[in-house]
């Protein structure tokens, strides 16, 4: 693919997350593919329960409306994430509420179980919209094959929805650290990985959809790797990691590069090896679960999985116990 940078990274926040309401004529609207109205209404009612049990103020009615809209948007191609003041207010209200629910309290407080129940309701909503999104993404290749055309606009719509939802989920993961139940963090991590797999199925480094944030992100990753100046590489990697909505794939690649700068440090080398192995395993999982187009990017002599494995071997050879040869 053409790795010539076309524009820099957009600013943080939701300003770049937009899904135009266009549709591809002649194709059935995805929303008609979901006939289980009972499940949809049950999920919306679950959001209502969150608001009622939390005894929120009248101002937080907008949060309930937000929950309804994100659920419905996950079953259609309608516009959702945008930079409106209204939406930013709703998102902020949600996380103000969730932070209050996640705040630690004495274990003998009767509200503890209630808080966990409310937080679990939000997790259930996230799981539902993620599963809806997976169905939407999985249907695209077969539709493209039948029609004989590439659904670029539809993929862009779903990519925008995916990125905005990953940002939302990331904030929820930060708050969940105060929840004592380890299953909460595990559930959110599974949702994050599933959304990344969907992203990789929608966009891959095959030379298509170059006018997307995903393409620009990969350009920056490759630019960091090809940089001849270590300081420039560090700067590019740091800029990638601080971007709101940084993909898991990009984060793994930049972490491998940053770890390479510390390869000569003996202290903590075993911990670094373990962290790198988790990164390599995660990249392999994402590759196998996404699409074949990612194989060249991640495996082989120039692949990121191979680079990470070579770095692990180098650390072990450099800092690990050395074999001593006996007398000849």
How would you write the pLDDT of the chain (328 residues) with one tens digit per residue? 444 433 333 333 333 333 333 333 334 343 434 444 455 555 555 555 555 555 544 444 555 566 667 767 776 655 566 555 565 666 666 666 666 666 666 554 545 566 666 677 778 888 888 888 898 899 899 899 999 999 999 899 889 889 888 988 888 888 877 777 788 888 899 999 999 999 999 998 887 898 999 999 999 999 999 998 999 999 999 999 998 889 999 999 999 999 999 898 889 999 999 999 999 999 999 988 887 888 878 887 778 999 999 999 999 999 988 765 555 5
Q: Which letter does DSSP use for residue 10 in this model?
A: P
CA angle 59, 61, 66 (to 5 degrees): 120
Give the predicted TM-score (pTM) of the model. 0.75
pLDDT at 106: 58
Contacts of residues 105-114 at CB distance under 8 Å and 24 or more positions apart, as own/partner, are 114/53
C-beta separation of 188 from 38 below 8 A: no
Distances (CA, A) of 122 to 95, 111, 198, 250: 11, 17, 21, 27
pLDDT at 87: 58
Report d(CA 245, CA 163) in Å as an integer.
6
Domain residue ranges of the chain, discontinuous segments joined by +: 30-202, 213-319
């Amino acid at each position: 693919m053409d790795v010539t940078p076309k524009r820099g990274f957009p600013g943080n926040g939701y300003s770049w997350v937009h899904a135009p309401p266009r549709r591809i004529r002649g194709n059935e609207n995805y929303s008609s593919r979901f006939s289980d109205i009972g499940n949809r209404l049950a999920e919306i009612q679950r959001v209502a329960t969150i608001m009622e049990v939390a005894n929120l103020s009248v101002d937080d009615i907008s949060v309930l409306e937000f929950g309804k809209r994100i659920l419905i948007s996950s079953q259609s191609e309608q516009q959702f994430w945008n930079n409106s003041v209204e939406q930013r207010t709703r998102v902020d209200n949600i996380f103000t509420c969730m932070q209050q629910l996640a705040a630690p309290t004495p274990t003998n407080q009767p509200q503890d179980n209630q808080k966990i129940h409310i937080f679990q309701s939000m997790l259930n909503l996230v799981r539902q919209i993620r599963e809806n999104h997976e169905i939407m993404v999985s249907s695209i290749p077969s539709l493209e094959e039948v029609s004989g055309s590439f659904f670029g606009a539809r993929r862009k719509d779903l990519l925008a929805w995916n990125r905005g939802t990953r940002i939302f989920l990331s904030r929820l993961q930060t708050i969940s650290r105060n929840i004592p139940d380890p299953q909460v963090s595990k559930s959110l991590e599974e949702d994050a990985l599933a959304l990344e797999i969907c992203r990789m199925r929608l966009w891959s480094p095959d030379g298509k959809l170059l006018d997307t944030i995903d393409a620009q992100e990969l350009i920056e990753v490759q630019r960091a790797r090809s940089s001849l100046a270590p300081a420039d590489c560090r700067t590019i990697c740091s800029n990638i990691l601080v971007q709101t909505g940084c993909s898991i794939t990009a984060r793994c690649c930049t972490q491998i590069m940053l770890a390479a700068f510390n390869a000569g440090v003996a202290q903590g080398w075993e911990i670094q090896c373990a962290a790198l192995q988790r990164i390599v395993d995660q990249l392999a999982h994402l590759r196998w679960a996404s699409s074949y187009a990612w194989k060249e990017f991640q495996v082989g002599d120039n692949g990121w999985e191979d680079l990470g494995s070579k770095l692990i071997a180098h650390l072990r050879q450099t800092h690990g116990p050395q074999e001593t040869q006996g007398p000849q």
